[in-house]
Amino acid sequence: MRRIIATLTGATMAALIVPTLVTVAPASAKAVRTTQATAADPVSALKRQFRTHRGVKLAENTKIVGEGKKNRAIFTRRSGVLEFGRTGLVASDLTTKFSLPLPDSDELKGLFTPSRTLSLKGVSYTSGGVFAESMPEGKKWLRTPGDTLSLVSAVQQIISTVEPGTLRTTLAHTRAKRPGGTWDGTRTTVHSGTITLAELFKVSPAVRTLLGRKPTGRSATLPVTWKIYLGSDQLVRRVVSSYTESTRGLNSTELTYVNDTRYTGWGTKVTIKAPPADQVADFDELIGDTTQPEDPIGEIFKG
């Protein structure tokens, strides 16, 4: 259950140190060409954002649809900020809200209450969410240890383009390019293609955290269709992905996930801090029955 809670709570924020300006001699033609090539590389453009106390704002919509007569849909909205360090993502501050197709189900409503999660230094702190009513008096944040800061959950974007390796590998599967309109004040080019879950598992720390183990069989070859919108500065402005997961044997249905993520304000100043210690509780301090369904999303589409 702790893995489910960890995947249903996300986390992100960012920060940059502005480099000192220096006077340099005119660059050679070869150096100019090298700089231009680097500027045209989305992975290099991303890595240049990896500076202390700088980050990017995130806004994401997810739709989960069941098949056939049970084609109800769950909608989620996630927003907040990601913080970078010199090597990549180091912290996040994300708020998640749900819109459920079963307004009369108090139990399921409790599982999908709005939540805010701060993640930093290998720990996540969640306020609200599934265990909100089980918190001891005076405590607001539930602490969840974790080895990897993850942007991915079953209801969130599976292609984490703030990971250089994931961005590089995904773009290597580009099958088409076309103008993508204007996003975050810049004209974009949209790259589109398909990548398998096994390929994502190999390159993405976030996906490895989500799955816990290497996908095999049909899961390994599960196709994830994607679109990545790159601005004129080669930074990602939008990511749209979709995949269909078979849950037959659990609740006899298939679920299609469509994730649409927008990135704005690259270079935003960010400093994410842990909540006050006197407002934090651990799992062993929770009050009452904390048992939850193993497959809460599947429960909604059951039958």
pLDDT of residue 132: 84
Is the pLDDT confidence value at 1 over 60?
A: no
Report yes or no: 193 and 176 within 8 Å, Cβ to Cβ: yes
Query: Pick from 101, 130, 109: which is nearest to 9 by CA?
Result: 130
pLDDT of residue 110: 59
Q: Read off the DSSP letter of residue 194.
A: E
Stretch among 39-43, 83-87, 181-185, 277-281 having the lowest mean pLDDT: 39-43
Residue scoring higher pLDDT (35 or 286): 286
Report yes or no: 191 and 227 within 8 Å, Cβ to Cβ: yes
Average pLDDT, the chain: 79
Query: Pick from 38, 62, 103, 73: which is nearest to 259 by CA?
Result: 62
Measured over the CA atoms of residue 270, residue 189, residue 199 and residue 219, the dihedral's sign is: positive
Q: In whole angstroms, give the CA distance from residue 191 to residue 57.
A: 21
Within a domain: 24: no
Query: What is the tally of structural domains in the chain?
Result: 1
Residue scoring higher pLDDT (9 or 233): 233
Helix (H, G, I), strand (E, B), or coil: what is residue 196?
A: strand
Within a domain: 155: yes
Within a domain: 111: yes
pLDDT, one tens digit per residue, over 231-281 is: 999 999 999 999 998 754 444 568 888 999 999 999 999 999 999 999 999
Within a domain: 34: no
CB atoms within 10 A of CB 183: 18
Within a domain: 30: no
Within a domain: 142: yes
**Segment 52-71 mean pLDDT:** 83
Domain range holding 237?
2-17+41-293
Is the pLDDT confidence value at 12 over 60?
A: no
Is the pLDDT confidence value at 7 over 50?
A: no
Supply the pTM of this predicted model: 0.79
The token duo for 290 is 């904390």
How much of the chain, in percent, has pLDDT values that exceed 70?
Answer: 70
Parallel/antiparallel/unpaired status of strands 280-281 and 254-269: unpaired
pLDDT, one tens digit per residue, over 188-225 is: 999 999 999 999 999 999 888 888 889 999 889 999 99
Within a domain: 165: yes
Within a domain: 159: yes
Q: In whole angstroms, give the CA distance from residue 297 to residue 303.
A: 13
**Segment 10-36 mean pLDDT:** 33
- Ordered DSSP codes for 22-63: ---PPPPHHHHHHHHHHHT-HHHHHHTT--TBEEEEEEEEEE
